[in-house]
Amino acid sequence: MEIQKMRRAFGKARTLIAPEEWPKTQAPTLLGEPTFLFILTPPHSGSTALAQALNSAHAATLLEERGEGQWLIPGMCQEDRWNPDKYIDWESVKAVWFSRLHFIESLVGKRDVVIEKSPPNIVRIEGLTKHFPKHEFIVFNRNPYACCASILYRNHDPRNLPEEKRIEILKDKARLWVFRSEWLKRHLQTYAPIFFTYEQFCRDPNGTLEKVVAAVPELTGINPERLIKVKDYPPQQIIDQNERQTRNLSPADRDAISEVLRPHEKLLQFFGYGVSLS
C-alpha cells in the first residue's frame, strides 16, 4: 500500500494524550551530547543482532534492553504508534531518553553513541532529525518472506490455526512490509543514510560494520565475533536465519505473500529481493 493511502487509512485525528503518557522529567545536563544512531528497520528484520554487534563498541549504549527507547515512554508505544500523524511530545522523549542516558553514564562512564531502533521511527524521521541534530541513520531491511515467517511463528500459533487464518495473517504482514519498505525507500532517496540489508550483514559482518564506523568513528572496538543474544535463542554468532524460517512456509503461505508483493516488484528489486515461486 502506498504511503499516502496508509496515511488516509490512519486518518488525521490525533489521540488525546494523558499527561502521564508523556513524562515531564527534567532533562539532565550531559557532558557533551551523544550521537544518536537510529536504525530504521521493520520489526523482525534482525535488527537486534545488528544493535548488539554495534553495542559491543566501547563508547556505545542502548537505552533499553531491546534497543527500543519507545518502551520507556507510554505515549510513544500505544497501538497507534505506526500512525505517521501521531502526536509525539518530543520534549518528553528527549528528557526521558537523556535521563536514562545520564543514569547509564553514572554506572559505566560517558557514552558517545546511543543506538536506538524502535521500528516506528521509520514514520517519524523528520521529528528525529529536528530534535536530535547529532545523529546518523541506518536503513536496514530484510527479505519479506523471512519477515512474514518470523512474525507468524513468533507472534501466533500457526500449527493450530486454520489455513485461511494463516493466509490472512501472512497477507496482512506482507502489506505492512510493503508500507514500511516504501518509507525506507523514500528515506534512502531523501537522506542518503547508511544502508545494507539483513542478508548483507549476515554475509559480511565485518564489511557492513565498517560502513557504520566510517560514518560514526566513535564506534571503536566493535567485536563482530561477539555472541549475540536474540529473543529466546541461545547466544550465537551472526547467522542468516532466512532459510530456516522460510522453510516453515507452506506453498499456500508463499503464494499468499507473493499475491501481495507482486504489484510491488520494483520496490522489492530496489532492495535486492524478488517475488518467490511456491
- Spell 187-210 as b/e; 16+ CB within 10 A means b: bbeeeebbbbbbbbbbeebeebbe
User: Tens digit of pLDDT for each residue in 211-225?
Assistant: 999 999 999 999 877
Asked whether residue 268 carries a pLDDT value surpassing 70, the answer given is: yes
Helices 144-155, 251-261: inter-axial angle, 10-degree rounding: 120
Q: Whole-angstrom Cα distance, residue 198 to residue 47?
A: 8
Q: What is the pLDDT of residues 67-83, one digit of tens each?
A: 999 999 999 999 999 99
Share of the chain above pLDDT 90, in %: 75
Q: What is the pLDDT of residues 8-66, one digit of tens each?
A: 443 433 444 455 899 987 877 777 889 999 999 999 999 999 999 999 999 999 999 99
Work out the average pLDDT over 171-194: 97
Supply the pLDDT for residue 233: 62
The CA distances from residue 53 to 1, 76, 83, 226, 234, in Å, are 33, 26, 30, 7, 16
Matching residue, cell 494524550? 17
